[in-house]
């Protein structure tokens, strides 16, 4: 058959990295990215971009660990290259602190991040409200530059990007052989998946260049993540809220909570407020489905529902989605061969 045409729907971190994995591992494919929004207007542009995994209750832990490890390895290599600054990726050390000792003192990802250890008594003196803590070094993505870096890599591999609102995946069947659904929160409407729901996140981006270490409260609600140019302060987790409007009361609450962890933030300048809707689901949907109408078939690979943990596993899930696309191509080539015989 002629070069298979693959459409990737969605241009957040999952869509772009999935398109890149397909282009890298299926060089015979013609890959297009279709989305009504590209950076800087995606949910991924708002994300904090720190590699600390979120746990998906419906996905086996060993699978989540593999996705995280593959993502960490990929981004670590970029952080160790001349492209680190352009891609917005750097190592950051810091602390995760708890008011009570957690059930799991060693999270499943503790041997993937660097130098994971319990905090010393001396370190804990910095956090008088907290009794237990973990120190480690992880990776931080400044998301808008990373998305632009991915777009640049895609263009270099011949992938084309089009601004297009896809209302129904079936509308693509006459133009493409395979469709990859990376629509994030858009999958709620696009494929009618009611298991996908928004978890609203409001964050502040501030200028506080003296803050060098990340600090994360163990409940995941309050965090301070230093980036290359700005520090991200968070956050909120508001289930089923679709509002993208910043809430001034929430801004004050986030700022006060972060200042209680790091009092020097009282001197932060230039507060910018951002809101994003995390595409949450009890598990990432990463599977193949074959749509058919009137004897015509359209293979669809789904890769969405990453919630708060998209950056931490994006490359791992992209690699798996690309593998599923290769399976679809093999099946299409097999049916073309049988038709000829």
Full strand arrangement of the beta sheet holding 296-304: 160-163, 30-35, 5-9, 178-181, 296-304, 285-293
CB atoms within 10 A of CB 294: 4
Per-residue confidence (pLDDT) for residue 244, from 0 to 100: 96
**What's the chain's average pLDDT?**
95
Q: How far is CA 239 from the centre of its chain?
A: 18
> Which residues are part of a known binding site for D-dopa?
223, 278
pLDDT above 60 (res 341): no
pLDDT above 80 (res 60): yes
- Within a domain: 83: yes
Per-residue confidence (pLDDT) for residue 2, from 0 to 100: 81
Give 334's pLDDT tier (boundaries 50, 70, 90).
confident
- Within a domain: 340: no
Fill in the DSSP letter of residue 3: P
Per-residue confidence (pLDDT) for residue 240, from 0 to 100: 96
> Which residues are part of a known binding site for FAD?
43-44, 166
Rounded Cα distance, 220 and 134, in Å: 13
- Within a domain: 211: yes
- Within a domain: 80: yes
Rounded Cα distance, 319 and 27, in Å: 14
Coil vs helix vs strand at 52 = coil
Helix (H) or strand (E) segment spanning residue 14: helix 13-25
Per-residue confidence (pLDDT) for residue 1, from 0 to 100: 62
- Within a domain: 145: yes
Helix (H) or strand (E) segment spanning residue 280: strand 269-280
- Within a domain: 135: yes
- Within a domain: 341: no
The domain of 81 spans: 5-335
**Which residues does residue 292 pair with via DSSP β-bridges, in sequence order?**
297
Give 338's pLDDT tier (boundaries 50, 70, 90).
low
pLDDT above 80 (res 43): yes
Helix (H) or strand (E) segment spanning residue 17: helix 13-25
Domain total of the chain: 1
Per-residue confidence (pLDDT) for residue 207, from 0 to 100: 98
Portion of the chain with pLDDT greater than 90, in percent:
94
Give 339's pLDDT tier (boundaries 50, 70, 90).
low
Rounded Cα distance, 89 and 148, in Å: 12
- Within a domain: 296: yes
Place of tokens 């870096």: 149
Q: What is the CATH number of the domain that holds 104?
A: 3.40.50.720
CB atoms within 10 A of CB 21: 24
Give 340's pLDDT tier (boundaries 50, 70, 90).
low
Cβ contact 191:169 at 8 Å = yes
> Which residues are part of a known binding site?
43-44, 166, 223, 278
Tokens in use for 207? Answer: 């200028």
Give 125's pLDDT tier (boundaries 50, 70, 90).
very high
Tokens in use for 253? Answer: 């609450």
Cβ contact 74:89 at 8 Å = no
Cβ contact 280:319 at 8 Å = no
Q: How far is CA 144 from the centre of its chain?
A: 12
Rounded Cα distance, 212 and 99, in Å: 23
Rounded Cα distance, 48 and 51, in Å: 9
């Amino acid at each position: 058959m002629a070069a298979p045409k693959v459409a990737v729907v969605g241009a957040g971190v999952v869509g772009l990295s999935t398109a890149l994995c397909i282009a890298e591992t299926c060089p015979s494919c013609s890959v297009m990215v279709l989305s009504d929004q590209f950076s800087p207007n995606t949910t991924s542009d708002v994300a904090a971009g720190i590699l600390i995994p979120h746990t998906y209750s419906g996905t086996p832990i060993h699978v989540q660990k593999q996705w995280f490890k593959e993502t960490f390895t990929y981004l670590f290599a970029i952080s160790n290259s001349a492209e680190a600054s352009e891609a917005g990726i750097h190592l950051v050390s810091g602390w995760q602190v708890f008011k009570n000792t957690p059930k799991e003192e060693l999270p499943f990802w503790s041997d993937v991040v660097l130098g994971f250890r319990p905090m010393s008594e001396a370190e804990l003196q910095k956090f008088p409200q907290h009794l237990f803590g973990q120190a480690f070094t992880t990776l931080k993505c400044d998301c808008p530059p990373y998305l632009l870096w991915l777009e640049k890599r895609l263009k270099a591999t011949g992938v084309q990007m089009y601004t297009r609102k896809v209302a129904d995946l079936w509308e693509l069947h006459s133009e493409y052989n395979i469709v990859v659904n990376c629509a994030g929160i858009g999958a709620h409407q696009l494929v009618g998946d009611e298991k996908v729901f928004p978890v609203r996140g409001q964050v502040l981006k501030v200028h506080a260049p003296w803050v060098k270490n990340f600090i994360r409260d163990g409940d995941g609600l309050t965090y301070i993540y230093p980036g290359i140019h700005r520090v991200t302060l968070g956050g909120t987790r508001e289930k089923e809220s679709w509002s993208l409007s910043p809430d001034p009361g929430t801004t004050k609450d986030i700022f006060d909570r972060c200042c209680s962890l790091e009092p020097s933030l009282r001197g932060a300048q230039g507060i910018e407020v951002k809101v994003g809707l995390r595409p949450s689901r009890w598990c990432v949907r990463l599977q193949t489905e074959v749509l058919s109408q009137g004897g015509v078939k359209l293979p669809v690979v789904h890769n969405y529902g990453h919630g708060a943990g998209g950056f931490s596993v994006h490359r791992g899930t992209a690699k798996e989605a690309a593998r599923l696309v290769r399976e679809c191509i093999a099946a299409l080539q097999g049916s073309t061969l049988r038709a000829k015989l």
